[in-house]
Amino acid sequence: MFRFFLRRVALTLPTFVALMFVTFVAVRLVPGDPIEARTGERGIAPERLAQLRHELGLDQPVWRQFLDYANGIVHGDFGVSIVTKTPVLQEFAVLFPATLELAFCALIFAVVLGIPAGVLAAVKRGSVFDHAVMTVALTGYSMPIFWWGLLLIMFMSEYLGLTPVSGRMDLINYYFEPVTGFMLIDSILSGQEGAFGAAAAHLVLPSIVLGTIPLAVIARMTRSSMLEVLGEDYVRTARAKGLSPLRVVGLHALRNALIPVVTVIGLQTGTLLAGAVLTETIFAWPGVGKWLIESIARRDYPALQGGIMLISGIVIVVNLIVDLTYVAINPRIRHGG
Amino acid sequence: MKEPLLSIRNLSVTFATSRGPFKAVDGVDLDVAEGELVAIVGESGSGKSVAMLAVMGLLPWTAKVSADRLAFGNRDLLTLSARERRKIIGHDIAMIFQEPMSSLNPCFTVGFQIREAMAAHLDLSSAERQKRAVELLDLVGIPEPERRLKAFPHQLSGGMSQRVMIAMALACSPKLIIADEPTTALDVTIQAQILDLLLRLQKESGVGLVLITHDMGVVAETSQRVCVQYAGQQIEMQGTRGLFADPHHPYTAALLDALPERASGRLLPSIPGVVPGLADRPAGCLFSPRCRFATDTCRTVPPSRASAALGLALCHYPLKDGVPQHREFAL
């Protein structure tokens, strides 16, 4: 178990190095540079330009810039935002809870709906329910996030008036200082009546939008995994014991069917954080995704590089955790086969 | 004969396939009394497992089961609700399967899986279930039962797994056990051990046992009565001794001739051809293409069942002392 852990951790190191390189290059492939982005068409005096470029280190050869950046990251320094002059890590730490809260709720939505839907579809394979679930799943998977988000806003917020259009909180009625950064928790801590409800209402649409693709993937994966497991000999053994169908399907089959599903859920963290960029932009959600989009517009190299590195790092760590969960579910791995 | 525990009349199982309905079991009759050991023999695909899975109610939804009678004791399994039937399955009737390694759930410990059957049917406290589980493992000859109960299936060998399956089947003290080729997947050396174990337990507990096998040697050593199946049909049924002394169906006779113990020449006799599939079923007797006694009648007219004296053989010309008899004379 410990050796498995060490090997798995060691495998992430090359990924980080490659990631560092790719983000550095990709950020510089975007036309324009931070100074142009700020001066716009007005132009700037050549001496001032040279001075600014020197201050930002952009007059250095590219390889030199890369080494400085890599050296910083290795020492835990993600640089300072060109625009806000605050350390990237500090900005990220303020914004990330918003993204995490959204991603978490989206994942809960996807899991809570996706697994039962997949199980039922497998048990009732070939039925109307099965076809309906799989059609909806395919539609959800294929739908562009931004379009789906706008549709929901139009229908739920504009037409039905059920949910807020955007943002994290109803700031006219409630105000409280962030404690944890998670609006759901902070709203309870604030003790203001109705604050939690308002925070939850703001989360509904973004969570649905962000959770749709993971929901579709989880439902389809659960169904196919379940179909495979239901044909296994040990499921027949469980039936032969006279156990209730609920126990046969929900315990004996599902426990085995979940093993690949957990892996898929882990892989969805990448989808969730990538999807958060679009979702946050649509819903004006003050999270990391929206910040990254803004940083692209400003050509804020350190913010982009640092932000992408941090997000990628989180995805890698989550996948590591998923691999370890996998071990916990599946005793064949736990005991070294 | 005592009041039968299990009573089957004219059991048929039809599978819906993409190429049309396929009759996997066709007109099987079987009675099993308490403490009796009945063997069902036949080649792969002869429908012996399917017939018993139908008794257990474990067939997939594509299967359609019909019978004139399918009763356990005085209860009609055909009309019982699924819930009522589950009270019998795993409690009064237990089944042991062919592949012990894949028949145990890899995600749960052996102990959990044994105790689970008791929890479903018996009114025992969890401490009593644990105690009984230890006794059961001890009974089936597994050393260090307490420790083994905590083991996961992948930590057991095939023979051990089958012992666990047997313990699981015995957990609720069933009246009838159906063993579906319980030794086929095991090493030859282990086969004898498992078979001996089953026979010993059957003798000690007086449970009825249906042993599905394709091994005539096992049949000869163990059973009191034999039912021979071919292509889903029950073609002969008689006492084991009688069957080996004077088989009445040509297929049974050919099976026995193919036993190495009985071979006299240098070459082991074999039955030419294969069991007919869905597409190539002959019009008359299903065995006629492979039968050395077959006549035009055999090839065109489905045979009816002969008398009990002729082993209920499904044959136009049942054998008597190896000679085909005309049914007019025989009856």
Q: Is the confidence at residue B217, as pLDDT, over 70?
A: yes
Residue B149 lies in domain = 4-229
Q: Is the confidence at residue B145, as pLDDT, over 90?
A: yes
Is A31 an interface residue toward B (CB < 8 Å)? no
Å between B111 CA and nearest CA of chain A: 14
Closest to B169 in 3D by CA, of B224, B114, B232: B114
Same domain, B79 and B17: yes
For residues A34 and A55, what is the distance between their CA atoms, to the nearest angstrom? 12
Å between B307 CA and nearest CA of chain A: 36
Same domain, B280 and B207: no
Q: A243 vs B91: CB contact, 8 Å cut-off?
A: no
pLDDT at residue B327 in the model: 65
pLDDT at residue B330 in the model: 43
Å between A330 CA and nearest CA of chain B: 6
Q: B90 vs A330: CB contact, 8 Å cut-off?
A: no
Q: Which one of A234, A235, A241 would you mutate to disrupt binding with B, by most B Cβ within 10 Å of its Cβ?
A: A241
Å between B107 CA and nearest CA of chain A: 6
Q: Look at strands B37-41 and B225-230 and give their pairing.
A: parallel
Same domain, B201 and B261: no
Å between B179 CA and nearest CA of chain A: 12
Residues of chain B contacting A, Cβ within 8 Å: 56, 58, 86-91, 94-95, 97, 99, 102-108, 113, 116-117, 120-121, 152, 154-155, 165, 168
Q: A331 vs B91: CB contact, 8 Å cut-off?
A: no
Which CATH fold topology does A91-334 show? MetI-like fold (1.10.3720)
DSSP state, B249?
A: S
Same domain, B126 and B267: no
Which residue on chain A is closest to B57 by alpha carbon? A240
- Per-position b or e across A175-187, b if 16+ CB within 10 A of its CB: eeeeeeebbbbbb
For residues A49 and A35, what is the distance between their CA atoms, to the nearest angstrom? 8
Asked if residue B202 lies in contact with residue B15, where contact means CB atoms within 8 angstroms, the answer is: no
A 200-229 residues with CB < 8 A to B: none
Domain ranges of chain A: 2-74, 91-334
pLDDT at residue A1 in the model: 67
For residues A10 and A238, what is the distance between their CA atoms, to the nearest angstrom? 41
Q: B102 vs A240: CB contact, 8 Å cut-off?
A: no
Is A238 an interface residue toward B (CB < 8 Å)? yes
Q: A237 vs B94: CB contact, 8 Å cut-off?
A: no
For residues B274 and B282, what is the distance between their CA atoms, to the nearest angstrom? 12
Q: A234 vs B106: CB contact, 8 Å cut-off?
A: yes
Q: Which residues of A touch B106 (CB under 8 A)?
A: 234, 256, 330-332
Q: A233 vs B56: CB contact, 8 Å cut-off?
A: no
Q: B103 vs A237: CB contact, 8 Å cut-off?
A: yes
Bridge partners, residue B320, by sequence = B323
Asked if residue A208 lies in contact with residue A108, where contact means CB atoms within 8 angstroms, the answer is: no
- Per-position b or e across A99-129, b if 16+ CB within 10 A of its CB: bbbbbebbbebbbeebbebbbbbbbebeeee
CATH number at residue B164: 3.40.50.300
Same domain, B225 and B274: no
Same domain, B149 and B269: no
Closest to A329 in 3D by CA, of A263, A233, A248: A263
Q: Is the confidence at residue B331, as pLDDT, over 50?
A: no
The CB density around residue B266, as the number of other CB atoms within 10 Å, is 5
* Chain centroid, CA B281 distance in Å: 24
| Alpha-carbon torsion (A94, A95, A100, A101), positive or negative | positive
Closest to A223 in 3D by CA, of A327, A136, A145: A136
For residues B70 and B5, what is the distance between their CA atoms, to the nearest angstrom? 11
Domain-located, residue B113: yes
pLDDT in tens, chain A (337 residues): 677 778 878 888 888 889 889 989 988 888 878 887 777 767 778 888 888 888 888 888 889 989 988 898 888 888 889 888 899 999 999 999 999 999 999 999 999 999 999 999 999 999 999 999 999 999 999 999 889 999 999 999 989 988 888 888 887 888 888 888 888 888 888 888 888 999 999 999 999 999 999 999 999 999 999 999 999 999 999 999 999 999 999 999 999 999 889 888 888 888 898 889 999 999 999 999 999 999 998 889 999 999 999 998 888 888 888 877 777 777 776 655 4
Closest to B226 in 3D by CA, of B248, B205, B203, B259: B248
Give the lowest-confidence range in A35-44, A126-135, B19-28, B200-209. A35-44
Task: Write the CA distances from A217 to A109, A214, A264, A274, A321, integer angstroms.
Answer: 13, 5, 8, 15, 20
CA torsion B45-B49-B54-B57 (nearest 10°) is -130
DSSP state, A40?
A: G
Give the lowest-confidence range in A33-37, A302-306, B19-23, B246-250. A33-37
Which H or E element spans position B32?
strand B20-33
Å between B100 CA and nearest CA of chain A: 9
Same domain, B28 and B105: yes
For residues A242 and B117, what is the distance between their CA atoms, to the nearest angstrom? 8
Helix, strand and coil content of chain B, in percent to the nearest 5, comes to 35, 25, 40
Q: A241 vs B168: CB contact, 8 Å cut-off?
A: yes
Domain-located, residue B235: no
Same domain, B300 and B204: no
Å between A221 CA and nearest CA of chain B: 19
> Looking at this protein, which amino acid is placed at residue B205?
S
pLDDT at residue A204 in the model: 94
Of A240, A244, A337, the CB nearest to B58: A240
Task: Give me the half-sphere count of Cα atoms (radius 13 Å) on the Cβ side of residue B156.
Answer: 31
Q: What pLDDT band is residue B65 in, cutting at 50, 70 and 90?
A: very high
Of A237, A239, A244, the CB nearest to B104: A237
ipTM of the complex: 0.89
What is the total count of domains within chain B?
A: 2
Q: Look at strands B63-66 and B176-180 and give their pairing.
A: unpaired
Q: What is the mean pLDDT of residues B59-79?
A: 90
- What is the separation, in whole angstroms, between the first and last Cα of chain B? 23
Counting beta carbons within 10 angstroms of the beta carbon of residue A160, is it exposed (0 to 12), middle (13 to 18) or buried (19 or more)?
exposed
Q: What is the mean pLDDT of residues B52-60?
A: 92
pLDDT at residue B328 in the model: 54
Is A240 an interface residue toward B (CB < 8 Å)? yes
For residues B97 and B212, what is the distance between their CA atoms, to the nearest angstrom? 10
Domain-located, residue B213: yes
Q: A240 vs B56: CB contact, 8 Å cut-off?
A: yes
For residues B151 and B136, what is the distance between their CA atoms, to the nearest angstrom? 15
For residues B118 and B128, what is the distance between their CA atoms, to the nearest angstrom? 10
For residues A141 and A136, what is the distance between their CA atoms, to the nearest angstrom? 8
For residues B248 and B252, what is the distance between their CA atoms, to the nearest angstrom? 7
Å between B116 CA and nearest CA of chain A: 8
Is A336 an interface residue toward B (CB < 8 Å)? no
Which H or E element spans position A135?
helix A128-142
Same domain, B225 and B260: no
Of B103, B120, B121, the CB nearest to A234: B103
Structure tokens at B6: 């299990």
Which residue on chain A is closest to B59 by alpha carbon? A236
Domain-located, residue B249: no
pLDDT at residue A333 in the model: 67
Closest to B87 in 3D by CA, of B52, B61, B123, B60: B123
DSSP state, A87?
A: B
Q: B105 vs A256: CB contact, 8 Å cut-off?
A: yes
CA torsion A182-A186-A189-A190 (nearest 10°) is 180
For residues B151 and B109, what is the distance between their CA atoms, to the nearest angstrom? 5
Quote the pTM value.
0.83
- B98-112: pLDDT as tens digits: 999 999 999 999 999
